[in-house]
Amino acid sequence: MEIVRPGQVAVFAKDLDSGAPCDTDGRPFADAAQATCVIFDSLSAAQAFAEATLAKAPGMRLDIFDAAGRANPPLVTLLHPSRARDADTHPRVLRKRQIIAWALIAAGIPLIVFAYLEHERREIILPAFLGINMLLAAGRLLWFNLGIRETERARRERLRRHDGRSGTASS
Q: What is the pLDDT of residue 84?
A: 76
Q: How many CA atoms lie within 13 A of 25 on its CB side?
A: 2
Q: At residue 113, does pLDDT exceed 80? A: yes
- pTM value? 0.68
Q: At residue 86, does pLDDT exceed 80? A: no
Q: How many CA atoms lie within 13 A of 141 on its CB side?
A: 19
Q: 169 and 163 in contact (C-beta within 8 Å)? A: yes
Task: Write out pLDDT tens, residues 22-59.
Answer: 888 888 887 767 677 888 888 888 889 988 888 888 88
